[in-house]
């Protein structure tokens, strides 16, 4: 009996050590990831400021930062892994936010040069940049257990203005893209074709715009609930859909 109890104690100790090791590795990776993303969005912010002061206009700004923007925004797909494996936040909320931004970057702004100098593009770029610098800074300092209050305050207050502005910029950009998409038929498939499938990207974009109606309020009120919980200590019970 004593031997079996000792074996069980040793096995439990080994399991605890493995869990601590995995936890330490996960924390180290998340810290590195959030520092890298903070730095990346800071680089984007400095590039936008430098471009504007040098050129005196926003025209051409998107093209000058496109490669960096595409890299860091696409790399954010890693956060879906964080949600599913590390269970940090809701995978649905994160998935909607990340995928919608990647769609905006790759399938709207990057694909249609004619709209890259629209004011709406600059609007959502500025909002994204400020939001992400704040968000990743918040995560970084939280992981390091040295979170300045002003960063926590910024994380849970600036979104009140930034989220609606970002949505306005995104919707205006998609709307500006509609005439070009309809005229050129880009990404569309007409019958007859070898796949016997019809797809109209123009109407797809309209559906995307309409999807903001149910999705945006859910994301916005989710952040408001998080704000009450983090800043004011309210206990929020999330209802299952």
Catalytic residue among 79, 118, 132, 170: 170
Q: Is 81 a catalytic residue?
A: no
Burial 133-156 (b: 16+ CB within 10 A, else e): bbbbbbbbbbbeeebeeebbebbb
Round to whole Å and give the CA distance between 41 and 31. Answer: 16
Q: Is 163 a catalytic residue?
A: yes
pLDDT of residue 8: 53
Catalytic residue among 163, 175, 187, 212: 163
Beta strands in the chain (DSSP E): none
How is residue 146 written in tokens? 């040295």
How is residue 103 written in tokens? 């769609």
Round to whole Å and give the CA distance between 106 and 74. Answer: 9
Q: 99, 79, 101: which is closest to 90 by C-alpha?
A: 79
Q: What is the pLDDT along the chain (241 residues), one digit of tens a residue?
A: 555 555 455 455 555 655 677 788 989 999 999 999 999 999 999 999 999 999 999 999 999 999 999 999 999 999 988 887 766 667 888 888 999 999 999 999 999 999 999 999 999 999 999 999 999 999 999 999 999 999 999 999 999 999 999 999 999 999 999 999 999 999 999 888 888 999 999 999 999 999 999 999 999 999 999 999 999 887 655 554 4
User: If you search the block for the tokens 């925004």, which residue do you land on?
Assistant: 73
């Amino acid at each position: 009996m004593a031997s079996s109890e000792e074996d069980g104690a040793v096995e439990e100790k080994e399991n605890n050590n493995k869990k601590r090791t995995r936890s330490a590795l996960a924390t180290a990776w998340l810290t590195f990831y959030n520092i890298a993303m903070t730095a990346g969005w800071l680089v984007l912010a400095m590039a936008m400021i430098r471009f504007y002061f040098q050129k005196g206009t926003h025209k051409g700004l998107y093209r000058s930062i496109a490669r960096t923007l595409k890299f860091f925004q696409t790399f954010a797909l890693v956060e879906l892994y964080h949600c599913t494996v590390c269970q940090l936040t809701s995978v649905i909320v994160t998935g909607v936010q990340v995928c919608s931004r990647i769609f905006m970057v790759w399938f709207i702004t990057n694909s249609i040069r004619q709209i890259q100098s629209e004011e709406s593009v600059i609007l959502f770029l500025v909002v994204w940049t400020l939001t992400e610098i704040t968000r990743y800074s918040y995560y970084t300092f939280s992981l390091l257990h040295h979170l300045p209050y002003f960063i926590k305050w910024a994380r849970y207050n600036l979104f009140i203005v930034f989220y609606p502005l970002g949505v306005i910029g995104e919707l205006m950009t998609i709307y500006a893209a509609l005439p070009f998409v309809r005229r050129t038929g880009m990404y569309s498939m007409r019958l007859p074709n070898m796949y016997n499938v019809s797809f109209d990207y123009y109407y797809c974009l309209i559906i995307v715009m309409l999807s903001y109606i149910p999705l945006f309020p859910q994301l916005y009120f989710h952040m408001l609930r998080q704000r009450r919980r983090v800043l004011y200590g309210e206990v929020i019970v999330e209802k299952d859909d």
